[in-house]
């Protein structure tokens, strides 16, 4: 069975600064995907970024990037130039390749302060 | 844009009532999911369906059942609601197929309170 652990229940960051959210996971699978989802206070969950385990290059989407360390089973999210609209709950999630089920971490509440 | 809608944003029910939560998606997705979201626990899968009339138990199916009579609609049923089922319920859908990854799209959630 796979598990996903987010050890930071809450974090805060000043507007325009950089913040990193941590995630570790455990699996015996070699082919899988990792995700970061964002859930703003309005509650609609959206996908922020995705990483394929077979790719060594870290995924990047605009101000969002990941640090994927496969051997360490670590998958952190870096948000650069934080904006007030980044305030949300962030979930790290795991899916085996060709699977359908997501396994989520407990989430990290991020508050961006002006 | 994929749209996943849920019948209610907020719902208050009494213990013992039968509760129906409805989810509709408009992108002809094969897969639909029901999750429960609780503080400190993240999202946990209750049930998912990979085709009409097909279902599979998730991690926490006890006390719940589901129905999928049409491809676009997936219902979660609490046969006899209990206070420990007070939670946020999220529906999601994803395409089927043989690609390695099928992105899940989420609805806005239903906050259910059982008194």
Domains along the sequence of chain A with CATH: 3-113 (2.60.40.10)
Residue B61 and residue B47 in contact, taking contact as beta carbons nearer than 8 Å:
yes
Quick: pLDDT tens for B24-35. Answer: 999 999 999 999
Q: What is the pLDDT of residue B16?
A: 97
Nearest to A4 by CA among A100, A78, A108, A112: A108
pLDDT in tens, A33-81: 999 999 999 778 999 999 999 998 999 999 999 999 999 999 999 999 9
Using one digit for the tens of pLDDT, what is the confidence trace for B1-54?
A: 669 999 999 999 999 999 999 999 999 999 999 999 999 999 999 999 999 989
Residue A104 forms contact with B (CB below 8 Å): yes
Percent of chain A clearing pLDDT 90 (strictly above):
84
Percentage of chain A exceeding pLDDT 70? 100
Chain-centroid distance, C-alpha B8 = 12
Contact, B20 vs B64, CB < 8 A?
no
Residues of A in contact with B43 (CB under 8 A): 91, 102, 104
Name the residue facing B102 among A100, A106, A107 (closest C-beta). A100
Ordered by where they begin, the domains of chain B are 4-96+106-114 (2.60.40.10)
Collect all residues of chain A within an 8 Å Cβ-Cβ radius of residue B29.
Answer: none
How close B14 gets to chain A, by Cα (Å)?
A: 24
In sequence order, which residues have a C-beta less than 8 Å from that of residue A63 and are 6 or more positions away? A79, A80, A81, A83
Residues of A within 8 A of B109 (CB-CB) are 43-44
Is A44 in contact with B44 (Cβ distance < 8 A)? Answer: no
């Amino acid at each position: 069975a796979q598990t996903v652990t987010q050890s930071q229940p809450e974090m805060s960051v000043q507007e325009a600064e950089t913040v990193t959210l941590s995630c570790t996971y455990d699996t015996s699978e070699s082919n899988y995907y990792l995700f970061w989802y964002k859930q703003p206070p309005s509650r609609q969950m959206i996908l922020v970024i995705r990483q394929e385990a077979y790719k060594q290059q870290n995924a990047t989407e605009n101000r969002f990037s990941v640090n994927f360390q496969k051997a360490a089973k670590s998958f952190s999210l870096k948000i650069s130039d934080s904006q007030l609209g980044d305030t949300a709950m962030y979930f790290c999630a795991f899916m085996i390749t060709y699977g359908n089920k997501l396994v989520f971490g407990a989430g990290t509440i991020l508050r961006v302060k002006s | 844009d994929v749209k996943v809608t849920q019948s209610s944003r907020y719902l208050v029910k009494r213990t013992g009532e039968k509760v129906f939560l409805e989810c509709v998606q408009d992108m002809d997705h094969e897969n639909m999911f029901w999750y429960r979201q609780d503080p400190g626990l993240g999202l946990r899968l209750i049930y998912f369906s990979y085709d009409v009339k097909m279902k599979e138990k998730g991690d926490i199916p006890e006390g719940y059942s589901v129905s999928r009579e049409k491809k676009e609609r997936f219902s979660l049923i609490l046969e006899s609601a209990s206070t420990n089922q007070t939670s946020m319920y999220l529906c999601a859908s994803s395409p089927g197929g043989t690609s390695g990854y099928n992105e899940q799209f989420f609805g806005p959630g239903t906050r259910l309170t059982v008194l």
